[in-house]
């Protein structure tokens, strides 16, 4: 799904424009998001990768407006969901959207469910919140949902407390919960990080299957490049609160353009011969509370030049307009090559 496909703009289930968010703290503010541009179209699976602290979760939470309103400031930008400006909705309107139009799955299936409420009840509560059906109907629906999750004995699981279930099972419950009201968009914040690879695979497959069946789009947040390359059509790479690269997964994986993405991929053991030294990115992630006014990757970049002291924009490459990069050097280079 690309920008230049005019007329499709209304089909963005999620579109974040130049979002800047900061958290006021002692002496200043943590600038968690510094101009994020991100779009998800109906039915597609989009990856969002980046290092820890790069703002992935803040981005996701902003999409649901789940951060307590007194702890952050939006300094610019907008978030639209299916055309509605999320930042302008009232709390009540927002509540109606959450769960029904857009859902979310979290990293720790261990703690994401209420430990003292039976899982069946937790799902029913959500269904009843958004749909005016009887409790018995809701229960029926819940059991059907659980069955859809390939849970062998839904009745037992329905009557279980979360602690009685394994991690994979709990994550399936979360998925059931997420799809209970057939949302248009599902934000999955590192849904498999806490799981074993074998279980991770099942959970991801399940997610994809459900999304395909219901037509929901998924924004999959992860820091596992391999997962992205296996499951996502498009990917956004974040660094220090901004998207630095975005494009079709295969393009980004095969031909990363931004120096950060390149460094990231080169650091994966998968990508080198065993035993040989891995490529590393020198330096450290900048302190978001004292962000320099320049390309945030500049201090770690091997290719930095004078121009990097200006903040780069995320712009499509001339050679491949579906591939966007926020780097002066790469943009100039690409322009030169294209000419």
Ligand X SMILES: Nc1ncnc2c1ncn2[C@@H]1O[C@H](COP(=O)(O)OP(=O)(O)OP(=O)(O)O)[C@@H](O)[C@H]1O
| CB nearer to other proteins: pick between 4 and 276 | 276
Residues 276-335 that bind ligand X (CB under 6 A): 288
Residue among 12, 158, 179, 231 that touches other proteins (CB under 8 A) = 231
Picked from ligand X, other proteins, Mg ion, none, the partner binding residue 58 (CB below 5 to 8 A depending on kind) is: ligand X
The bridge status of strand 45-50 relative to strand 102-105 is unpaired
Looking at the Cβ atoms of 55 and 191, the one nearer to ligand X is 55
Measured between alpha carbons, how far apart are the two ends of the chain, in Å?
26
User: Alpha-carbon torsion 123, 129, 135, 140, what sign?
Assistant: negative
Question: What does 5 bind: other proteins, ligand X, Mg ion, none (CB cut-off 5 to 8 Å by kind)?
Answer: none
In a 3-state reduction of DSSP, which class is residue 250? Answer: helix
Q: Which helix (DSSP H) or strand (DSSP E) does residue 50 occupy?
A: strand 45-50
| Binding-site member from 58, 188, 218, 227 for other proteins (CB under 8 A) | 227
DSSP 90: -
Determine, following the binding rule CB under 8 A, whether residue 57 of this chain makes contact with other proteins: no
Q: Is 164 in the site for other proteins (CB under 8 A)?
A: yes
Choose which of 118, 139, 147, 223 interacts with ligand X (CB under 6 A).
223
Residues that bind Mg ion (CB under 5 A): 57
φ and ψ at residue 304, rounded to 5 degrees: -65, 150
From residue 175 to residue 214, the character string flagging contacts with other proteins as x (rule: CB under 8 A) and all else as - is: --x--x---------------xxxxxxx-xxx--x-----
Q: Rounded CA gap, 132 and 129, in Å?
A: 8
Q: Which of 85, 140, 155, 287 binds other proteins (CB under 8 A)?
A: 287
Binding mask 11-40 for ligand X (x = CB under 6 A): ------------x-x----x-x--------
Residue 288 contacts which entry, Mg ion, other proteins, ligand X, none (Cβ below 5-8 A, type-dependent): ligand X
Residue closer to Mg ion by CB (options 119, 227) is: 227
Residue 116 sits in the site that holds other proteins (CB under 8 A): yes
CA separation for the pair 298, 305 (Å, rounded): 8
The C-alpha atoms of residue 131 and residue 128 are separated, in whole angstroms, by 5
Residue with smallest beta-carbon separation from Mg ion:
57
Q: Which is nearer to other proteins, 270 or 306 (CB)?
A: 270
Enumerate residues 6+ apart whose C-beta is below 8 A from 312: 295, 326, 327, 328, 331
Please work out the total of residues on this chain that contact other proteins, with binding judged by CB under 8 A: 88
Q: Which is nearer to ligand X, 89 or 199 (CB)?
A: 199
- Closer CB to ligand X, 66 or 338, in the complex: 66
The structure tokens listed for 202 are: 């099942």
Q: Cα 52–197–100 angle (5° rounding)? A: 65
Q: How far is the CB of 146 from Mg ion (least distance, A)?
A: 28
Segment 120 to 149, residues that bind other proteins, using CB under 8 A: 125-126, 129-130
Beta partners for residue 19, in sequence order: 36
56 binds ligand X (CB under 6 A): yes
Q: Are strands 217-221 and 185-189 parallel, antiparallel or unpaired?
A: parallel
Q: How far is CA 93 from CA 181, 271, 333, in A?
A: 16, 47, 47
Residue placing its CB nearer to Mg ion in the complex, 42 or 67:
67
Does the protein bind other proteins through residue 97 (CB under 8 A)?
yes
DSSP result, 15-30: EEEEEEEEEE-SSSEE
Residues 6+ apart with CB under 8 A from 189: 56, 57, 60, 104, 105, 106, 107, 221
The smaller minimum CB distance to other proteins, of residues 130 and 257, is found at 130
Would you tell me how many other CB atoms lie within 10 Å of the CB of residue 228?
Answer: 24
Interface with ligand X by CB under 6 A: which residues? Answer: 23, 25, 30, 32, 50, 52-58, 71, 223, 288
């Amino acid at each position: 799904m690309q920008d230049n496909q005019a007329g499709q703009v209304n089909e963005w289930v999620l579109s974040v424009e130049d979002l800047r968010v900061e958290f006021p703290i002692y002496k200043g503010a943590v600038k968690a998001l510094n101009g994020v541009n991100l779009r998800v179209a109906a039915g597609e699976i989009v990856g969002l990768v980046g290092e820890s602290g790069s703002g992935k979760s803040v981005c996701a939470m902003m999409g649901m407006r789940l951060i307590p309103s007194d702890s952050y400031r939006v300094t610019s930008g907008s978030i639209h969901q299916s055309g509605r400006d999320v930042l302008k909705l009232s709390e009540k309107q927002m509540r109606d959207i959450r769960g029904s139009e857009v859902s979310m799955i979290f990293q720790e299936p261990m703690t994401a469910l209420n430990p003292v409420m039976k899982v069946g009840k937790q799902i029913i509560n959500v269904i009843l919140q958004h749909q005016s059906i009887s409790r018995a109907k809701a229960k029926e629906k819940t059991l059907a949902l659980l069955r859809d999750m390939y849970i062998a004995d839904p009745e037992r699981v329905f009557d279980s407390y979360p602690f009685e279930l394994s991690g994979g099972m709990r994550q399936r419950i979360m998925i059931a919960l997420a799809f209970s009201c057939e949302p248009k968009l599902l934000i999955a914040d590192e849904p498999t990080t806490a799981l074993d690879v074998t279980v991770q695979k099942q959970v991801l497959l399940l997610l994809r299957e459900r999304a395909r069946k219901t037509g929901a789009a998924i924004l999959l947040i992860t820091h596992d490049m391999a997962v992205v390359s296996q499951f996502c059509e498009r990917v956004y790479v974040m660094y220090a609160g901004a998207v630095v690269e975005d494009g079709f997964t295969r393009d980004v994986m095969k031909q990363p353009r931004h120096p950060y993405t390149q460094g990231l991929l080169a650091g994966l053991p998968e990508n080198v011969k065993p035993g040989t030294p891995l490529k590393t990115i020198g330096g450290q992630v900048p302190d978001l509370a004292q962000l320099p006014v320049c390309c945030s990757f500049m201090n770690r970049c091997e290719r930095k030049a004078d121009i990097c002291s200006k903040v780069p924009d995320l712009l499509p490459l001339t050679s491949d307009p579906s591939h966007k990069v926020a780097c002066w050097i790469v943009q100039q280079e690409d322009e030169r090559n294209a000419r």
